[in-house]
A = this chain, B = another copy of it.
């Protein structure tokens, strides 16, 4: 039994059980938009991951992942940020639990701007300033920093999958940049 299994305890699900749950319940996710801020708190850069999707396609992505059984939302945020950005990223998870928006990913395209062919996921979205050194880990190939204007570029937005371009646009609007 691996550490991961021990940690999640009763929350551990076999691949088959998780697949079954995904067809029957909305799955709780978190989305994090990593940003660099200047000493006035103004966002200067947004970090986007480069990831190889299950279909082999390379896509840009936000930091995103499932909340586990008996896990606090802010612990899930930190776990996914560390998994994707490495242990030295020094993320500053917001003090308030209020997400700036929620993203409803539906298995059926077109219900909302968000789409996830595998499941119905509802994601709590946060902007997270990171102050340390980011080293993409695991299935994240690269982290690229974009200025707000670069991130808004239709070419960049088109590289985000599953409607995350919509979520990025919402984050930029929330940040006022």
Interface positions of A (Cβ within 8 A of B): 10-13, 17, 21, 23-28, 35, 37, 40-43, 67-75, 78, 92-102, 104, 106-108, 111-113, 120, 122, 124, 127, 129, 169-170, 172-176
A64 and B120 alpha carbons, distance in the complex (Å): 20
Docked-complex contact A95 and B129, CB < 8 angstroms = yes
Given A74-B42, A102-B99, A104-B73: A25 in contact with B35 (beta carbons within 8 A): no
A176: chain B residues within 8 A (beta carbon): 96-97, 101, 112-113, 170
B120 touches A40 (CB 8 A): no
Contacts of A104 in B (CB 8 A): 72-73, 97
Q: How far is the CB of A4 from chain B (nearest CB, A)?
A: 14
Assess whether B11 is in contact with A24, with CB atoms less than 8 Å apart.
yes
CB-CB < 8 A to A78: which residues of B?
Answer: 40
- Which of B27, B35, B95, B175 touches A42 (beta carbons < 8 Å)? B95
Q: How far is the CA of A9 from the CA of B76 in the complex (A)?
A: 30
B27 close to A127 (CB less than 8 A): no
Q: Given the complex, which residues of B lie within 8 Å of A13, measured CB to CB?
A: 24-25
Q: Which residue on B lies nearest to A106, using beta carbons? A: B70
B24 touches A74 (CB 8 A): no
